[in-house]
Structure 1
Amino acid sequence: MKWYRSLYWKIFLAIWLSSVLVILATVVIVGGMSHHERDAEVQETRARALAERMLERYEEGHGLERLQRKLSRGAPGMRIVELSSNERVFNSLPKRGPGARPVLTFELVSESGRSYRVEVGAWPPREQFGRFLGLLVSVQIVLILLVSALTSLVLTWLVVRPLKRLRLHTRALAQGDLAVRSDQQLSTRGDEIGELAREFDTMADYVERTLGASQRLMQDVSHELRAPLARLQAAAGLLEQRLGEGDPLLQRLNRECGRIDHLITEILSLSRLEALEPGTDAFSVQELVTELREDIHFQQPERTLTFEVPKGCRARGNRQLLERALGNVFNNALKHTPMGTAIELSYAAVGNLHELRIRDHGPGVPSDTLEQLFDPFFRQRSGVDADGYGLGLSIARRALRILGGSIEARNHPQGGLELLVRLPVA
């Protein structure tokens, strides 16, 4: 999953951007109003000080031309009129334009007691961008952004972390761990995430009961079929004594009885796997693979077998489970590949796992049915006339899960089907 699709970053960026927008709006609106009021006060104070200085020079008899030339650079226009004689003492307001109209008027009494009216034009506008940039890099704004970032991190941690734990529980349930439930920290929460965790537990209980009932049903039906099957086989034996071994109908009856017996055996094996203990004893995988290789060579001597497993390859658990799993994998390759084709087994160490790669040289399977190979009763049609009921690889996957391992199917780039069996290192 790409980073920008993560719920963590979506919440983080949403809170961050909303905080920035609120801060910008506050700076532009509230900051602009406060600066306007403060600027008006500052301008009036500066204008009074400037007018007092000019009147002081005027009453002392000094000329104002030099001061006027100095103030004309970056200073507002100003008009000073003595109230008693209505005489203009000073005038630098432009005659036309937006600056000709005074924006500030006040009366001023000099130290000699004379009264003057002072009219001040507009001050040069301050650079708004510089003021705005100064506010953005101020300590207050930086602190607000840091607090909003910390808040978003805490919120995403409170939401995303429990969701990730629920996702792991759901994945474990999908992989066949029917006993998985949400941890107590999740299920006891009083918010929506706690409700979701409790709904997950309810769903897991229902799935476990349903699958357990179906497994018990298959087991009970298989046991019940044993008795009529035994009677059919006994009846077939009596018919064989009367009709002889070469009768085609009798041969068909024996063949069908054998198929039913094989199906019942596989169903019982599938249902009994859950009752087997995982075990804790360490055993040699290399010795087990050697035994299976000898069995395959005895059944089909013409097969080319290439098995490479180091002597130090050891696993821990119930040896019978791995024997059942690998035996079904090899039987699947023998059934679905032509006679005389090769079967290869190679070994690789991947971290703390043993990886056994079993490859045949058959036709392979369509890529869209690779995962279905491990579903019970799924049968892949191929060009090879093969018997089976689609339970072999399903039994292999369940056995490996009990051992803490896994199995995966893929088509080899050079042809044939390749099964990857992974086991924890002892």
Structure 2
Amino acid sequence: MNWLSRLNPANHLFGRIFLWFWITLILVVTVTAFATREIARNQEGSLSELNESQEHWLEENQRLLARLPALLEQSRDLAAALDRLSKRNRQLIVLVRQRDNALISPVPARELGDSKAFARASASDEAVMLHIRHFEFIGPINKITYNGDTYSLFLGRMARPNPLREFREQYPLALLTLALILSAVPCFLLARSLVKPLTALGRHARQMGAGNLQSKDLHTALRGDEIGQLAREFNQMATHLEDMLERQKRMLSDISHELRSPLTRMQVAVALAENEFGEDHPLCKRISKEAGQLDTMLGQLLALARLESQQSQRYSHFQTSDILSQIVQDAEFEASAVNKHLISEFGDSAPLYGDAQLIASALENILRNGIKYAKQSIAVHANLPDDQSWQLVIEDDGPGVAEEHLTKLFTPFYRTSEARDRDSGGVGLGLAIAARAIHANGGNISAMRSTEYGGLRIEVTLPLHPVS
């Protein structure tokens, strides 16, 4: 049902705008069509005064009109006489019997419609123009008496052709369908002009949310309407965020550098105190431990600052076996020192391209994190998920991380449990540095719960780069 929901136009802004305008146009077109049709019906048999062209037509037929009463009064069959005279003179000659408004015409009565129009015209004191469907008549011209009945004489002809009217009468649904299809085009363009810049803004917002603060919608910002104003404010916000983050990075780097000097002096003072009071003195041990943690944190801050600014990266081709062997040896030694077991499986070596030292440091950092929180076992294994990437998976049987914290593990200074990390000496920088190092080399890192060991599972994926 999800795909049906995605196809539903009402679930999208573009679909709602398009349907709103299109349905409105459909209603307008439909009402207009029916109103026009009703007006046309009401106007059938409409009477009007003679214009100059019609008066000229009447003058041209004066000789015929002068002879018609005598010719018709002498005929035995009135209808046959009308048909014969109409064909001979190429005119439509119609009689209206005054006592019952009956029509006598050379054309079928159904083509002339309702006889009431002729009755209204017959009641006129002077000749008028009568429009009926495809015909136009002038009358009453003369009065004719035949077999005791009085008739009003009308002279008619085919009206000038009107292709649109004929097409509408013959194919009413086709004309309505064509109007609806044509109305969909401007509705589509209008909806697209409103939704397209919003879609572009959404795309840039997603890019900015992914960390690309240089993503700005310059094209939409050129518009002069409210959407253009929104794009300009969005670009201004992105610029402010970029400047603020840059200042924060610079401040973090500067503070780390500035703290190096007093830290060095503190370590010298600790060494002098240990010489005087002994290394086992409680205060000396405490100060030495805190100074060591501060030194580690400053080193991590400097490493993070260098990664953020992409400084001092040395790229080269190397094999995964060049870095994994030493990392695993060191990890096995550290794990055995705390009575934990490391399981490793790597398979064939794979070619990579990047900063080998930086990648090795990141993997070692992740592995040490697993050793720190594992209860008994840590597993690390490598594989090739496809022909374009290499993947390293590190799992442990520790307490793991709650689902809501998994996406924030790689955020600087983020800690899932402050008490636990404080006891272990962590400040929430290790995994953040590892993630920055992996991303700097074109890779990806993700965290999830380990289904096999029950603890944390971290997957590192790097692109393969065979040496050509």
TM-score by shorter chain over 0.5: yes
Deviation of 1:279 (Å): 6.2
Is the 2:145–2:151 Cα contact (8 Å) retained in structure 1? no
Within the candidate set 3, 8, 18, 2:14 is matched to 8
Partner of 2:407: 371
Deviation of 1:409 (Å): 1.7
Is the 1:335–1:387 Cα contact (8 Å) retained in structure 2? no
Is the 2:371–2:378 Cα contact (8 Å) retained in structure 1? no
Partner of 2:196: 161
* CA–CA separation in structure 2 for the residues paired with 1:200 and 1:40: 63
Tell me the amino acid that sits aligned with residue 416 of structure 2.
Answer: Q
**TM-score in terms of structure 1 length:** 0.73
For residues 187-220 of structure 1, give each alpha carbon's deviation from its aligned partner in whole angstroms, at most 9, with x where no partner exists: 4444444333332232222112212222222222
Is the 2:384–2:391 Cα contact (8 Å) retained in structure 1? yes
- Name the CA shift for 1:374/1:232 in 2 (closer, same or farther; >3 Å): same
- Name the CA shift for 1:27/1:308 in 2 (closer, same or farther; >3 Å): farther
* CA–CA separation in structure 1 for the residues paired with 2:101 and 2:17: 66
* CA–CA separation in structure 2 for the residues paired with 1:210 and 1:187: 22
Partner SS state of residue 268, structure 1? helix
Matches within 5 A, 1:136-285: 136-138=173-175, 141-178=176-213, 180-182=214-216, 184-273=218-307, 274-276=309-311, 281-285=316-320
Within the candidate set 352, 355, 358, 1:321 is matched to 358
Partner of 1:305: 343
Is the 1:354–1:425 Cα contact (8 Å) retained in structure 2? yes
- Name the CA shift for 1:200/1:13 in 2 (closer, same or farther; >3 Å): same
* CA–CA separation in structure 2 for the residues paired with 1:286 and 1:148: 66
* CA–CA separation in structure 2 for the residues paired with 1:403 and 1:307: 23
* CA–CA separation in structure 2 for the residues paired with 1:285 and 1:186: 46
Is the 1:278–1:403 Cα contact (8 Å) retained in structure 2? no
For residues 153-177 of structure 1, give each alpha carbon's deviation from its aligned partner in whole angstroms, at most 9, with x where no partner exists: 3334434333333333222222223
Partner of 1:419: 458
Is the 1:15–1:148 Cα contact (8 Å) retained in structure 2? no
Moved more, 236-245 or 3-12: 3-12
Deviation of 1:267 (Å): 0.8
* CA–CA separation in structure 2 for the residues paired with 1:170 and 1:89: 79
* CA–CA separation in structure 2 for the residues paired with 1:353 and 1:40: 83
Matches within 5 A, 1:44-59: none
- Name the CA shift for 1:391/1:133 in 2 (closer, same or farther; >3 Å): farther
For residues 258-298 of structure 1, give each alpha carbon's deviation from its aligned partner in whole angstroms, at most 9, with x where no partner exists: 11111111111111112326666443335433432222123
Partner SS state of residue 2, structure 1? helix
Is the 2:378–2:397 Cα contact (8 Å) retained in structure 1? yes
Runs of 5+ unmatched residues, structure 1: 42-55, 63-79, 92-101, 119-130
**TM-score in terms of structure 2 length:** 0.67
Partner of 2:425: 387
Tell me the amino acid that sits aligned with residue 389 of structure 1.
Answer: V
Seq. identity, %? 30
Partner SS state of residue 44, structure 2? helix
Partner SS state of residue 374, structure 1? coil
- Name the CA shift for 1:271/1:356 in 2 (closer, same or farther; >3 Å): same
* CA–CA separation in structure 2 for the residues paired with 1:158 and 1:309: 55
* CA–CA separation in structure 2 for the residues paired with 1:82 and 1:14: 56
Tell me the amino acid that sits aligned with residue 305 of structure 1.
Answer: I
Tell me the amino acid that sits aligned with residue 233 of structure 2.
Answer: E
Partner SS state of residue 262, structure 2? helix
- Name the CA shift for 1:201/1:224 in 2 (closer, same or farther; >3 Å): same
Is the 1:27–1:135 Cα contact (8 Å) retained in structure 2? no
* CA–CA separation in structure 2 for the residues paired with 1:10 and 1:277: 52
* CA–CA separation in structure 2 for the residues paired with 1:244 and 1:357: 45
